Amino acid sequence: MKKLLFATTAAAGIIASGFGAQADASENTNYTNQNTNYNYTTTQTAQPTQTTESTDASNTSEVYKEFIAAGGTKALWDNIVMPESSGNPNAVNELGYRGLGQTKEAWGTGSVAEQTKGMINYAEERYGSVEAAIEFRQANNWW
């Protein structure tokens, strides 16, 4: 009986202290390629939805510059990269999709240039063009 009472009390304490509430934990993550070092703060919330990784504006700006230099377009950035990963090349969601374009393909963990080229190839192979991939993403909220 004491064990049952203890277990019930412990469960009630867990529920009262934050079951369903958000618990935040932050850790710094470094992303390095041959030219640039990015520092990101990773915030994980106790929700079954998605792990979010936030970037500051200067890091996103640097990633954007590399993305454009590698052949990406402003339309691809605005309509696929930003909704999928917020411009974070290290973004990972709860299903394991990663990178700027949120993929499970190898290019999702490469440099910004590799990820950009992988996204362009994927868009052209799957949808026929980057523009068609953007249209699909806008219509379906995934790509």
Alpha helices in the chain (DSSP H): 2-16, 57-69, 74-76, 82-85, 112-127, 130-140
* Neighbour count for residue 55 (Cβ, 10 Å): 22
On whether the CB atoms of residues 117 and 111 are closer than 8 A, the answer is no
Residues 131-141 have a mean pLDDT of 97
| Average predicted confidence (pLDDT) for the chain | 75
CA gap 27, 45 in Å, rounded: 12
Model confidence at 62, pLDDT cuts 50, 70, 90, reads: very high
